[in-house]
Structure 1
Amino acid sequence: MPSNKIYIFDTTLRDGEQVPGCKLNTKEKIEIALALEELGVDIIEAGFPISSPGDFESVTEISKVIKNATVCGLSRAVEKDIETAAAALRYAKYPRIHTGIGTSDFHIKAKFNSTREEILKRAVQAVKWARNFTDNVEFYAEDAGRTENEYLARVVEAVIAAGATTVNIPDTTGYCLPHQYGEKIAYLINNVPNVDKAVLSCHCHNDLGMATANSISGVIAGARQIECTINGLGERAGNTSLEEVVMVIKQHQCLDLHTDIRAEQLNPISQLVADVMRMPVQPNKAIVGANAFSHSSGIHQDGFLKDSQTYEIIRPEEVGAETSKIVLTARSGRSALAYRFRKLGFEFNRNDIDVLYEQFLQVADAKKEVQDTDLIEMAAKYQPEVAAAIS
């Protein structure tokens, strides 16, 4: 597809919910689905309808309330799965059935005890079944990351001919290196004659910590959809992080790519998902972690205070985060200390700061982080009236 828009396919409610302890009820799923639509997500994978009555109900109810985004239901390459997905999606304004089968020799031989030719037939049949219900059909070639490229190209060509409008190329085990995944997408674009009739999609797992890099490599090579989750939630080590790929694309304008995501909502929805799914975000998580815009090293603090761009490539407000933080620790310097005193309302000259800094280091060595109450106590000896006003 020639467009430079990257479609964002969010699977927080399906792949993300597979994290142990993150099971959601229908009400919780609807709350997150509405937030995803407001965020600007193009496709919401609402669940795996045949997996349980509860998941069927959730997909059905989400289909009723989502008005702008496509609502997607997952299925295996099984007729009953596909019929059940279609039934759950019957109220969706823009329904999509996502069906597929494993294509690597690991899956063909060990999982299915089958042959490449038989899997190819099953893939085509699944797409044809899905096309009986909707013209928006996505096919996933599970474990495409470890599938031999020539065979994968045969499968992709066949499912597009059968009516698939999106073809998902999952790195299911997070095995690929970024250049390998990009080369795989490029191979398909260059060797599948009808590839222009469908969108190629990146669905990368994070087992080796490369899900975001692989997804970006995939869209650089020509894929036009990224499948991802809020906070990178997902089975095992997780999926591609929505907030990361969105901001990579936004920051690197040289890629000439864009999404429709409202970036200022990234931190709020991150917190919503963390709260509802009872899965805290790691503090050093890119974009949405508590420390993403915090500075504690003296060298960093000094540079940041002179020009924030010395150590921040994203402004916190761009992604709906609070303001940048100067965290005072034993590694902090005089400029950060003076800054924090000024924020509290104290005005000290350089000599005052030199004296206060020695006291500060004693406190900092005894504590992980120096708080405002500690600073007020130090400053009260020199400017008691200001300290009293603040207290």
Structure 2
Amino acid sequence: MSVSTGSAKDHVLIFDTTLRDGEQCPGATMTLEEKLEVAELLDVMGVDVIEAGFPIASNGDFEAVSLIAQRVKNAVVTGLARAISVDIARAGEAVRNAARPRIHTFVSTSPIHLEHQMRKSEEEVLEIITTTVAQARNLIDNIEWSAMDATRTPIEYLCRCVDAAIKAGATTINLPDTVGYATPDEYRAMFKAVRERVPNADKAIFSAHCHNDLGLAVANSLAALEGGARQIECTMNGIGERAGNAALEEIVMAIRTRGDVLPYETRVESTMLTRASKLVAAATSFPVQYNKAIVGRNAFAHESGIHQDGMLKHSQTYEIMTPESVGVSKTSLVMGKHSGRAAFRNKLTELGYELGANQFEDAFVRFKELADRKKNVYDEDIEALVDQNLATANDRIKLVSLSIVAGTRGPQRATMKLDVDGRIVTEEQEGNGPVDATFNAIKALVPHEAALELYQVHAVTEGTDAQAEVSVRLTADGRSVTSRAADPDTLVASAQAYLGALNKLVARGVRVHAHAAE
């Protein structure tokens, strides 16, 4: 597995850990169905390795990894395991039916981790590496070993650990910047030093896994390639613990766009990046920031008069890549109440949505209702209503109607009707403002102990008739979930977002009770 560093384009393996490291981001937990949908799209998109989860974490995680392993057709499917015998056995069992299975095991190597977390000596950790990697290799031929906190590990000891892992059977060596501490020059030098000093380094592929605590995850990942790494571990939209991981879409497009200084290539079909970004954002209820590179709403938007003038004369004056290359259409059709099904279907295709017949009809009805209430319907409006329609299709608790009494005289009151598992329940509640009254009505109709951690409102587009997009985060029984909803009426959007989060908690086993129908 020797690695070429010559001028010819080398293949870089893209290792996606959205379903494992990405899901560890607080509030980003996905359902089994959502995980399967994301995994299948990543496979079709050309990702080389899919880290499907942490099988020992829970029975749900084990089931998800097992089903993904069975369904994925092309990519390697791996499950993460600590350097513990039971973890490795569980991971091996979870991925054993994959067409291309891998076990990914890790152990800390830095002095601060060994002293305060592992409470082991360097020699004890070396023995753990040899034993656990050998155990994994006896189960599956494809083994990845990671040195957690590699960038804060003395290079001499790191080399001893890597040598031991390769001798025990590791075929991929990951040297992660676990805490996002390194700079590009340091990270490049670390890979170069390890590959030069470890005698059997040519028997393994080296991998980079960078966190974004200092905003350097992508830069460090690309620097690792110069140091000899040929696998990059990343996530869609850069989601992940703390400040997130290196963003897959940024890695892929940097390599594609700057081939003059990055002589590498990937198998990822870049025209599917926007679609994958939207799917992950919807599944995790984590919105993509407007100015996010590659997949953000403003990535190909130009408002400055100077920029617009340049774009009209030649697109490359202010765009270094085409919107089409990442799955974005340059055309911006203004949709309105006179638009028909054909135009609406075409717009959905442009935006990357593929809906079934019933989903399309539901979305079209909601679009018409929105168009009657707004002068102009923008792409962002359509994305918001379709994402909400898809997210609530299987909800057990649905909003039927909401009436609000508000103003200076008070008290503010909300009259709400819900459909709970097919039963219609009604309630009227007062509150300290219309939003509080709305949420009190939900709590009265569906009693629960969930705590409201976040309530956030922003406009989807400009203007007084803009849709309000509301984000709500609820926590119960140690679970934290986030949901978004959009509607021209801020209070309706608030109710929908709260119910969306409540439905996610119900789907994760949190018990609630509905009042008798009235």
Superposition TM-score tier, normalisation by shorter sequence: 0.7 to 0.9
Rounded to whole Å, the distance in 1 between the matches of 2:296 and 2:135 is 43
RMSD: 1.7
User: Partner of 2:212: helix, strand, or coil?
Assistant: coil
Alignment partner of 1:306 out of 303, 307, 313: 313
Residue 226 (str. 1) matches residue 232 (str. 2): yes
**Runs of 4 or more consecutive aligned structure 1 residues displaced over 3 Å after TM superposition:** 368-371
**Alpha-carbon contact 1:293-1:325 (below 8 Å) kept:** no
Number of residues of Structure 1 aligned to a counterpart in Structure 2: 331
Partner of 2:190: 184
Map 1:108-127 to 2 at 5 A.
108-127=114-133
Rounded to whole Å, the distance in 1 between the matches of 2:233 and 2:292 is 19
The amino acid across from 2:121 in the alignment is T
Partner of 2:323: 316
Rounded to whole Å, the distance in 2 between the matches of 1:182 and 1:324 is 41
Partner of 2:400: none
- Compare 196-205 and 121-130 and name the one that shifted more: 121-130
The amino acid across from 1:210 in the alignment is L
Partner of 1:27: 33
Higher share of residues assigned helix: 1
Kindly state the Cα deviation for residue 112 of structure 1 after the two structures are TM-superposed. Answer: 1.1
Residue 156 (str. 1) matches residue 157 (str. 2): no
Residue 131 (str. 1) matches residue 132 (str. 2): no
Q: What per-residue deviation string (whole Å, max 9, x for no partner) do you get for residues 251-295 of structure 1? A: 111222100000000001100111111111000000000000001
Rounded to whole Å, the distance in 1 between the matches of 2:215 and 2:190 is 19
The amino acid across from 2:272 in the alignment is Q
Partner of 2:243: 237
Q: What per-residue deviation string (whole Å, max 9, x for no partner) do you get for residues 30-66 of structure 1? A: 1100000011000000000000000000001111111
The amino acid across from 2:59 in the alignment is P
Partner of 2:93: 87
Rounded to whole Å, the distance in 1 between the matches of 2:52 and 2:194 is 28
Partner of 1:341: none
Kindly state the Cα deviation for residue 28 of structure 1 after the two structures are TM-superposed. Answer: 1.1
TM-score normalised by structure 1 residue count: 0.82
Alignment partner of 2:66 out of 60, 64, 67: 60
**Alpha-carbon contact 2:3-2:205 (below 8 Å) kept:** no
Rounded to whole Å, the distance in 1 between the matches of 2:309 and 2:303 is 10
Rounded to whole Å, the distance in 1 between the matches of 2:156 and 2:318 is 45
Q: Which has the higher contact order (CA 8 A, sep 6+)?
A: 1
Residue 6 (str. 1) matches residue 15 (str. 2): no
User: Partner of 2:23: helix, strand, or coil?
Assistant: helix
Q: What per-residue deviation string (whole Å, max 9, x for no partner) do you get for residues 214-244 of structure 1? A: 0000012110000000000100000010000
User: Partner of 2:79: helix, strand, or coil?
Assistant: strand
Kindly state the Cα deviation for residue 145 of structure 1 after the two structures are TM-superposed. Answer: 1.2
Rounded to whole Å, the distance in 2 between the matches of 1:167 and 1:117 is 19
Alignment partner of 1:103 out of 95, 104, 109: 109
The amino acid across from 2:33 in the alignment is K
The amino acid across from 1:76 in the alignment is R
Seq. identity, %: 52
Rounded to whole Å, the distance in 1 between the matches of 2:462 and 2:149 is 49
Unaligned segments of structure 2, at least 5 residues: 5-9, 334-459, 466-518
Alignment partner of 2:293 out of 280, 286, 289: 286
The amino acid across from 2:97 in the alignment is Y
Residue 47 (str. 1) matches residue 44 (str. 2): no
Map 1:195-274 to 2 at 5 A.
195-254=201-260, 255-274=262-281
Partner of 2:383: none
User: Partner of 1:171: helix, strand, or coil?
Assistant: coil
Residue 18 (str. 1) matches residue 49 (str. 2): no
Rounded to whole Å, the distance in 2 between the matches of 1:27 and 1:61 is 10
**Alpha-carbon contact 2:51-2:79 (below 8 Å) kept:** yes
Map 1:305-384 to 2 at 5 A.
305-323=312-330
Higher share of residues assigned strand: 2
**Alpha-carbon contact 1:48-1:75 (below 8 Å) kept:** yes
Partner of 1:353: none
Rounded to whole Å, the distance in 2 between the matches of 1:79 and 1:113 is 18
TM-score normalised by structure 2 residue count: 0.62
User: Partner of 1:295: helix, strand, or coil?
Assistant: coil
Kindly state the Cα deviation for residue 370 of structure 1 after the two structures are TM-superposed. Answer: 8.2
Rounded to whole Å, the distance in 2 between the matches of 1:182 and 1:211 is 13
Rounded to whole Å, the distance in 1 between the matches of 2:192 and 2:312 is 44
**Alpha-carbon contact 2:13-2:230 (below 8 Å) kept:** yes
- Compare 294-303 and 137-146 and name the one that shifted more: 294-303
User: Partner of 1:54: helix, strand, or coil?
Assistant: helix
Kindly state the Cα deviation for residue 324 of structure 1 after the two structures are TM-superposed. Answer: 7.2
**Alpha-carbon contact 1:100-1:126 (below 8 Å) kept:** no
**Alpha-carbon contact 1:30-1:58 (below 8 Å) kept:** yes
**Alpha-carbon contact 1:295-1:325 (below 8 Å) kept:** no
